[in-house]
Structure 1
Amino acid sequence: MRDRPTVDDVGTAVYTVPTDTPEADGTLAWDTTTLVLVTVRTGTTTGLGYTYAPAATAHVVRELLAGTVTGLSALDVPRANERMCRAVRNAGLPGVAAQAIAAVDIALWDLKARLLDLPLVALLGAARDDVPVYGSGGFTTYDAERQDRQLRGWTEDEGIPRVKIKIGESWGTRETRDLERVARARASIGDAAELYVDANGGYTGGQAARAGDALADQGVTWFEEPVPSDHLIQLADLRRRLPMDVTAGEYGYTLPYFEHMLAAGAVDCLQADVTRCGGITVWLRVAALAHARGIDVSGHCAPHAHAHAAAALPNLRHLEWFHDHVRIERLLFDGVLDPGGGSVTPGADGAPGLGLSLVAERAEPYRVQ
C-alpha cells in the first residue's frame, strides 16, 4: 500500500464576537458568542473545523485530542473519531468534550477533501444540490421594530420562505407577550411564508399545550423545544396533541441520545448539531437513525459547518440560518454561502473541502486565545 498522508499538527484559536444587540431566548441571555477554531495539517495542506462553545473547549483539544489524532492517516476520519471518543472517557463525552471532538472531526473531513481536491459534498456523495435554510433569530429582547426588520430582511430581501422566532420568554412567564410577538411576526411575513417558534424548553407541558392552539391560529408549523428536551414523555405527548411539528435534539452530544429521542416518538423532525454531536462522522449516523424511522433531520445553527454534509442526506428538512452564527461566519471566513431564494448550494464553486478560509486580518481583533 502506498504511504498515506498523516496528521502532522493540530492547532486551536478562540474568537469571541459581541452580538449586535443584547439577545435572549426563553431560558438564557447573552451578549457575546465564542467560536473555537481547530486546524489540522498534513504537509502544506490544512483543514479547518469549529464549534460554538466555551473557550475551555480549545484546552480539551490541546490536552486530550491533539496527541490522539497526530500521526493517524488523514484519510481515516472515522478511526480518528473513535480514538477521540475513547480518549475522553474519564473526562466525560457529553458537553464540552463532544464539542471539541466535533471541531476536530470537521477539520479532518475538510482536510481529507482538500487532499483529494474535492468539495466535501463531492467526497461524501450528494443526495441533493440545494439545501433549504430557514431564517432564525427573533430574540425575546427585540422590540417590535427590530423583529419586523429582521423578518422582512429574510423574507423580502433574501427570499427565504421560512423563519423562526424565540418564545417562552423568562421561563414561560410572559405568555401574553410571546403570543403578541408571534402575531406580529405573522403580520411581518404575510401568509405565504412558514412561521416557526422555539421555546428553548421554557414552558411546562400544560403551558405548551395551551399555547399550541394560539400558535396554530397564526399558522405556526414548527414548535421547537416546547418543554425541556430531556422530557421525552412530555414531548411525545405534545407531539400527539398539537397540530404542528414538535422538534428537538440540538443538545444531543452522543448517538444514544438521539436513539432514545427517536424511540420515544418525541419529535416530528430531529434536530442535530454537527458542532456538538461529535462532528460530521456522528452527524451522518444520527441522520441514518432518523432515516430508518422515516424522520427528517434539521441542522442546528453553524450553517457553514453543516452545509456539505446536509447535501448528502436524503432525509434533510433544512438548515438553521442562525443570525449570530451567520454574522460570525461572514466576518471570519471567506467562501460563505448565499441563501438567496431560501437555499444554499455547497460545492457549486468547486472549492475543496468546506470551501472556507479564515481571514486573519478580520478575525484577529476578536481572538482571545
Structure 2
Amino acid sequence: MVLVEIKGGGKTGIGYTYGHEATGIIIEKTLKKLVLKKNAMNIESITSALIRAIRNNGNTGIAMMAVSAVDNALWDLKAKIFDVPLCSLLGQAKDEMLIYGSGGFTSYNDKQLENQLGGWASEGIRYVKMKIGTHPADDVSRVKKAREAIGKNTGLFVDANGAYTVKQALGKARSFAEYDVSWYEEPVTSDNLQGLCFIREHAPYKMNIAAGEYGYNLPYFDKMIHQGAVDILQADATRCGGISYYIKAGNLAEAYEIPFSSHCAPALHLHASVTLKNFYIGEYFYDHVRIEKMLFDGVMPSKNGCLVPDLQRAGVGLEFKHSDAEKYKI
C-alpha cells in the first residue's frame, strides 16, 4: 500500500494504491510539486496536470498508480472540506454496494477453499469468486467442491487471471456451466481482446465474461468495449487514474449499457461506486479487506452481502491508523 495524505482547509485527505514502492518515489519527486498550493476544488485540473507530467514515463503502470493515489486523496480532501460524505458530494444513485467475496486462491487445499467460500455464504454474502488456472487439470473438480460448499443459492464466479488459451478457456467454460458459474473473469489475458470476444460469443449464455482490472486509461476501456470483449467492465481506482477516471470509466460503460464492477480495495471504491447508476458489484477481496481493517478506522462491515457508506463520516469515511501502521512502514 502506498499512502498519500494531502492537507488543505484544515482537513487531511487520504488516498492510496497498491504497488511497488517506486510508486511513492514518483509521487514524491514528480507529482507532489504539482499539487502543493493548488485549489483543492479543482481536481480535474490537478489530475490532468499529473497525467501530463508522467507522459514520458507512460500513462500506465506504476506512474498511473501514483496519479491514482493522489487523485483519490484529492477527492477525500474535497469532501472533507465540505464536511460531507464523498457519495453525497458526487450524488448517490444507490444506497449500497453489492459485493462478492473474492479469494479461493489456487494455493488453498480443498478444505481451505470450502471453508472460505462457504464461510462467506453463511455470512450472507450472496456471490463468491475463486481463482483457477494454475493447475488446469484440477479446475473443474475444484469448482465442483466450491459449489458443494456454498450451496445452490449463492452465485459462483471464477477468475483465471489470463491463464488459459482461447480454446482451453472455452472448453472449461462448458464444464463450469454444469456448476452454474455465472462470471468468468479473464479466461485469457486481457491483452487478447479478440480472444475474449471469441469466448464471450461462444460461452454458455448465462456466463458473463468480465475484465478490465488492468486498465490504466480511458482508451483501454473504450477498446475493450468496442471489441465486444466483455459482458461486465471492471476498473480499479487505485490504477486507472483515481476516482476521477474510475467514474469516467463507469460512465463510459453506462453509455454502452454494460454493467460496471470495481476491482479490489472495497473501502476505497464504496462511495464512488454508489454514485454510478450502472454499477453492478464490487470485489470484496480477502487480502485488501484484511489490510484495510488493519490500517483504517471507518471500514464498513458487510451486511446482507452489501457495503453501505457511513453518511455520518466525511470523505470516503476512512482515517489512517498511523500508530498501528508504523511497524510496517518502508
Q: Aligned to 2:275, which of 283, 291, 312? A: 312
**Distance (Å, rounded) in 2 between the aligned partners of 1:203 and 1:187:** 24
Q: Aligned to 1:136, which of 90, 93, 102? A: 102
Query: What is the Cα deviation at residue 359 of structure 1?
Result: 1.1
Q: Does 1:90 align with 2:56?
A: yes
Which protein is richer in helix relative to its size? 2
Over residues 306-327 of structure 1, what are the superposed CA-to-partner deviations in whole Å (9 max), with x where a residue is unaligned? 1000000000011100000000
> Where does residue 77 of structure 2 map in the other structure?
111
Query: What is the Cα deviation at residue 176 of structure 1?
Result: 2.2
> Where does residue 263 of structure 1 map in the other structure?
226
SS across alignment from 1:39: strand
> Where does residue 88 of structure 2 map in the other structure?
122
SS across alignment from 1:132: strand
> Where does residue 129 of structure 2 map in the other structure?
164
Q: Aligned to 2:247, which of 284, 289, 299? A: 284
Taking structure 2 as the reference length, the TM-score comes to 0.98
* 1:173-212 → structure 2 map (5 Å cutoff): 174-212=135-173
> Where does residue 357 of structure 1 map in the other structure?
319
RMSD: 0.8
> Where does residue 338 of structure 1 map in the other structure?
301
**Distance (Å, rounded) in 2 between the aligned partners of 1:334 and 1:152:** 27
Over residues 200-221 of structure 1, what are the superposed CA-to-partner deviations in whole Å (9 max), with x where a residue is unaligned? 0000001101001110001000
* 1:24-39 → structure 2 map (5 Å cutoff): 35-39=1-5
Over residues 74-97 of structure 1, what are the superposed CA-to-partner deviations in whole Å (9 max), with x where a residue is unaligned? 011111110100011111111001
Query: What is the Cα deviation at residue 70 of structure 1?
Result: 1.2
Over residues 335-355 of structure 1, what are the superposed CA-to-partner deviations in whole Å (9 max), with x where a residue is unaligned? 00111210011133x100011
Counterpart AA for 2:251 = A
SS across alignment from 1:207: helix
> Where does residue 201 of structure 2 map in the other structure?
240
SS across alignment from 1:226: coil
**Distance (Å, rounded) in 2 between the aligned partners of 1:234 and 1:331:** 39
SS across alignment from 2:281: strand
Q: Does 1:275 align with 2:241?
A: no
SS across alignment from 1:64: helix
Over residues 51-104 of structure 1, what are the superposed CA-to-partner deviations in whole Å (9 max), with x where a residue is unaligned? 011111000001111001111110111111101000111111110011000000
Query: What is the Cα deviation at residue 149 of structure 1?
Result: 1.2
> Where does residue 42 of structure 2 map in the other structure?
76
Taking structure 1 as the reference length, the TM-score comes to 0.88
**Residues 300 and 310, structure 2, Cα contact 8 Å, conserved in 1:** no
Structure 2 segments unaligned to the other structure (5+ residues): none
Over residues 155-196 of structure 1, what are the superposed CA-to-partner deviations in whole Å (9 max), with x where a residue is unaligned? 10x210100000011xxxx22211111010000000000000
Structure 1 segments unaligned to the other structure (5+ residues): 1-34
Query: What is the Cα deviation at residue 237 of structure 1?
Result: 0.8
Counterpart AA for 2:261 = S
Counterpart AA for 2:175 = A
Q: Percent identity?
A: 46
> Where does residue 176 of structure 2 map in the other structure?
215
**Residues 265 and 285, structure 2, Cα contact 8 Å, conserved in 1:** yes
Find runs of 4+ consecutive structure 1 residues off by over 2 angstroms. none
**Distance (Å, rounded) in 1 between the aligned partners of 2:10 and 2:251:** 34
**Distance (Å, rounded) in 2 between the aligned partners of 1:63 and 1:312:** 33
Query: What is the Cα deviation at residue 44 of structure 1?
Result: 2.7
**Distance (Å, rounded) in 1 between the aligned partners of 2:265 and 2:285:** 7
Query: What is the Cα deviation at residue 264 of structure 1?
Result: 0.4
Query: What is the Cα deviation at residue 43 of structure 1?
Result: 4.5
**Distance (Å, rounded) in 2 between the aligned partners of 1:225 and 1:318:** 17
Query: What is the Cα deviation at residue 361 of structure 1?
Result: 2.1
**Distance (Å, rounded) in 2 between the aligned partners of 1:303 and 1:163:** 14
**Residues 121 and 347, structure 1, Cα contact 8 Å, conserved in 2:** no
